[in-house]
Amino acid sequence: MSTPSSFSDDDSTGRPRLLLVDDDEVNLMLTAVALREHGFDVVEVSGGASALAALDDTTPDLIALDALMPGMDGFQTCQAMRALPGYAHTPVLMLTGLDDDASITRAYRAGATDFFVKSTQWSLLIGRLRYMLRASRTRIELERSKFKLARAQDLARMGSFDWRRGERMGELWLSPEALHVFGKKPGDGVAMRELLRMVGAGQRRGLLRMLNEVVAHNAVFATDVSVTLADARQRVVHVEAEAEFEHGHGIGYTGVFQDVTDRRVAEDRIRHLANFDALTGLPNRRQLIWRTERALEHARRLGHRAALLLIDLDRFKNVNDTLGHAAGDELLMEVARRLRGCVRHSDQVMEGALEAAGTRTHRTLEAVGRLGGDEFVALLPEVTDDTDSERVANRILDAMREPIFVAGQECFVTASVGIAMFPRDGLNLADLMRNSDVAMYSAKTAGRNSSAVYSPQLAGRGREKIELESHLHKAIERNELVLHYQPKIDVRAAKMVGVEALMRWQRGGVLVPPGDFIPLAEETGLIVPLSEWAVREAARQAKIWQQQFGFADSIAVNLPSRLFERSDLVENIHQSVAAYGVPHKAILLEITENNLMKDLHNVSLSLHRLNEIGVEISIDDFGTGYSSLAYLTTLPISELKIDRSFVRDLGITPQSSAVVSAIIALARSLGLRVIAEGVENLRQMDVLHRLGCGVMQGFLFAKALPPDDLATWLHETVLPRKAPWIGAASDEPAPRVLGRA
């Protein structure tokens, strides 16, 4: 005997569950025993009503039903079962007598799956039941896979169709999913003519020609068709079909429709993203390279010239830094718009048409693209000579003359343009790019806002210098510049009273000293963005130190005189300190005496305005310049810095002591602070101290320190009062001008 049946198991792998209905207890018992013996789980019930009741508790895989029973007989029971939800397809085996033909017919009519003449040869019954079970499971699988297919097709916006040859346009049948593709409901009929009407008139004629051609040869059919649905939606439908044959004759087609609109849109978008700059919409580097290579191929084949113009905005970094990146982006968009107007720009290249030799379609390659940052390229696929290129370059420079409104203010942007021409200045893309770059830098060096045609002489002027210059140009963007800070010490109070910022260039792991790049920066004009960066960076650092250890002194930044000439200097400094929320006096500007004297007239206005907003001015290298001291009385100067050359000789030559004491006296009488730099030993400190200069700067105290090291230096040297110079100065009985902190 088998174990009692359990109805909770998974039906596909366990014993099949069978509901056995027979009013005769002997048959019921025997059949149940026989079936259990052969691996079935059997629920026995003795009548139709109890069979229906049993279905509330159990879901059998199949049902064996005695046909003739008192009360509700097998036929009625079967009919009632079929009406129950979930039992439409459960296999039902009707058990009948041997000679009961009428029952057989009635059994099928009542919805029985099959009939079986009662027999005590159990193997026959088992065989039949197993067969029914297999068939039922196959059917369930089929149903499931049909359902999955329909669902998958629906998700893929795909549906199948059949088409049969016939009168006029033949007969078309669409699955519900296919109807959905065309915006129809299941059950809607769709005629071929109606589908064709959805295709635009322009495309329809070609499509019909193709359909006729394909059908005539029973060829495979695959194409994308743009359709307009009844609700005016535009969709792209992919059609794919192959012929069906009967007795060797094509009788029609079977295939699928798929709505590929989204994919098309996505593909277009991907193609656009891959080839066009997201910000400006101009062709990007990749697209430019592709176009240039095509243009060069064409030029090579037809023996004409082509030109590459490299366009770099002058001082774009300033805009980005002072007005913010959003404003910078806005500006680039406007620049892009203007540049586009300077050439016969084509967004779309007629790729197929390019191959047709002799046509002018290479003209469609002409474009302005963005390489990245503020660098643009104009590709001129055919030029006669340099005049052509220069004409475009001038157009570009002209286009920049009008101010650009960004972030609510007028910006003036200029550009430098470098021109390289194929084949003279390079036979391939790489050479042309490099040489247009060389030309562009020469334009920048020559004072910006101009263009330059490449010439080998340009390249000859020291490759290294060009390279250095080119790298220095990018140093700010790449965050390669750093400021180090040398403390200014009040030796009597033994405390730090400020720092001087000194620029360093971290170039590929090497710290380049200022002497190696500041002259070059001065020469090329890069000193302007470098200095502006330094002011911002100092303001940023002042804020960090303020939060770290309550730093409330000033950071001295060296500025060249040409920066003082700029009308926007005050505004720049204001922006910088405001950006980091530090007071104006956190920045102290140092200008060398030489620089100041060179351009006194232009500088003085700036100095007054700076003074008004609270930025103090210190005269660097004081005592070495052309000494018309009159300016000291009229300019708003706060501090004199005694040149290191005098300090070096202190205690060695009496002249230096004389000069230093004269400077100190001068400063005192004019009410200026005085500070000595380059103090390297206690002897120098001692002399300065005695002469009345209490604030000093030099290796004796500290060299220029990376920003993070300054706090450490303060904690380990100044606060514990450990340095040798602290004792030396404090022991002096000199009058204390400043109180000890």
Residue among 104 and 429 whose Cβ is closer to another protein: 104
Count of CA atoms in the C-beta half-sphere (13 A) of 452: 23
Minimum CB separation of residue 84 from another protein in Å reads 27
Residue among 23 and 330 whose Cβ is closer to another protein: 23
Minimum CB separation of residue 142 from another protein in Å reads 35
Choose, by CB under 8 A, the member of 6, 7, 9, 25 that binds another protein.
Answer: 25
Choose, by CB under 8 A, the member of 12, 84, 97, 463 that binds another protein.
Answer: 97
Structure tokens at 587: 């920045």
Angle at 407 (CA atoms; ends 401, 408), nearest 5 degrees: 80
Quick check: 186 binds another protein (CB under 8 A)?
Answer: no
Please report the sign of the dihedral spanned by the C-alpha atoms of residue 684, residue 690, residue 693, residue 695.
Answer: positive
Q: Give me the 101-120 binding string for another protein, x by CB under 8 A, dash otherwise.
A: -----------------x-x
Minimum CB separation of residue 119 from another protein in Å reads 9
Task: List the one residue out of 667, 551, 550 whose CA is nearest residue 618.
Answer: 667
Task: List the one residue out of 377, 392, 362, 371 whose CA is nearest residue 296.
Answer: 362
Residue among 74 and 283 whose Cβ is closer to another protein: 74
Minimum CB separation of residue 95 from another protein in Å reads 9
Residue among 101 and 731 whose Cβ is closer to another protein: 101
CA distance 245 to 548: 86
Class of residue 173 by CB neighbours under 10 A (exposed 0-12, middle 13-18, buried 19+): middle
Choose, by CB under 8 A, the member of 19, 21, 23, 328 that binds another protein.
Answer: 23
The amino acid that residue 500 corresponds to is: E
Task: List the one residue out of 190, 172, 171 whose CA is nearest residue 182.
Answer: 190
* Window contacting another protein (CB under 8 A); options: 27-35, 614-622, 637-645, 725-733: 27-35
Q: Give me the 319-358 binding string for another protein, x by CB under 8 A, dash otherwise.
A: ----------------------------------------
Quick check: 27 binds another protein (CB under 8 A)?
Answer: yes
Stated as kind and residue range, the H or E segment containing 622 is: strand 616-622
Choose, by CB under 8 A, the member of 3, 8, 121, 479 that binds another protein.
Answer: 121
Choose, by CB under 8 A, the member of 10, 99, 464, 731 that binds another protein.
Answer: 99
Minimum CB separation of residue 129 from another protein in Å reads 16
CA distance 268 to 478: 34
CA distance 481 to 503: 7
Choose, by CB under 8 A, the member of 3, 26, 372, 479 that binds another protein.
Answer: 26
Quick check: 122 binds another protein (CB under 8 A)?
Answer: yes
CA distance 98 to 279: 87
Residue among 122 and 173 whose Cβ is closer to another protein: 122
Residue among 93 and 586 whose Cβ is closer to another protein: 93
CA distance 501 to 536: 12
Minimum CB separation of residue 118 from another protein in Å reads 5
Quick check: 126 binds another protein (CB under 8 A)?
Answer: no
Residue among 118 and 471 whose Cβ is closer to another protein: 118
Minimum CB separation of residue 120 from another protein in Å reads 5
Q: Give me the 542-581 binding string for another protein, x by CB under 8 A, dash otherwise.
A: ----------------------------------------
Question: Are β-strands 234-246 and 221-228 bridged in parallel, bridged antiparallel, or unpaired?
Answer: antiparallel
Residue among 27 and 455 whose Cβ is closer to another protein: 27
Quick check: 4 binds another protein (CB under 8 A)?
Answer: no
* Window contacting another protein (CB under 8 A); options: 24-32, 198-206, 685-693, 694-702: 24-32
CA distance 209 to 76: 60
Minimum CB separation of residue 45 from another protein in Å reads 16
Residue among 127 and 724 whose Cβ is closer to another protein: 127
Torsion of CA 334, 337, 343, 344, to 10 degrees: 180
Minimum CB separation of residue 177 from another protein in Å reads 51
Question: Which residues in 355-512 belong to E strands, given as ranges?
Answer: 367-372, 375-383, 404-406, 409-411, 415-422, 451-453, 481-490, 495-507, 510-512
Quick check: 49 binds another protein (CB under 8 A)?
Answer: no
Minimum CB separation of residue 92 from another protein in Å reads 19
Determine the 3-state secondary structure of 639 from DSSP: strand
Residue among 65 and 332 whose Cβ is closer to another protein: 65
Q: Compute how many residues bind another protein; rule: CB under 8 A.
A: 19
* Window contacting another protein (CB under 8 A); options: 13-21, 28-36, 239-247, 584-592: 28-36
Choose, by CB under 8 A, the member of 9, 12, 29, 300 that binds another protein.
Answer: 29
Query: CB-based contacts of 515: which residues, under 8 Å, 6+ apart?
Result: none
Quick check: 213 binds another protein (CB under 8 A)?
Answer: no
Stated as kind and residue range, the H or E segment containing 710 is: helix 707-713
Choose, by CB under 8 A, the member of 37, 268, 467, 568 that binds another protein.
Answer: 37
Cβ neighbours around 266 below 10 Å, total: 11
Minimum CB separation of residue 5 from another protein in Å reads 16
- Phi then psi for 285, rounded to 5 degrees? -55, -45
Quick check: 39 binds another protein (CB under 8 A)?
Answer: no
SS3 annotation, 376-415: EEEEEEEECCHHHHHHHHHHHHHHCCCCEEECCEEECCCE
Residue among 31 and 287 whose Cβ is closer to another protein: 31
CA distance 20 to 11: 17
The amino acid that residue 143 corresponds to is: E
**What's the start-to-end Cα distance of the chain, in Å?**
104
Minimum CB separation of residue 26 from another protein in Å reads 4
Q: What are the residues facing 640 on neighbouring strands?
A: 619, 674
Can you say how many angstroms the Cα of residue 575 is from the centroid of all Cα atoms in its chain? 29
Between the CA of residue 629 and those of 632, 647, 670, 698, what are the distances in Å?
A: 6, 21, 11, 26
Residue among 25 and 351 whose Cβ is closer to another protein: 25
Quick check: 297 binds another protein (CB under 8 A)?
Answer: no
* Window contacting another protein (CB under 8 A); options: 29-37, 47-55, 124-132, 587-595: 29-37
Torsion of CA 462, 463, 469, 475, to 10 degrees: -150
Quick check: 34 binds another protein (CB under 8 A)?
Answer: yes
Minimum CB separation of residue 33 from another protein in Å reads 5
Contact set with another protein (CB under 8 A): 1, 23-27, 29-30, 33-34, 37, 68, 70, 97, 99, 118, 120-122
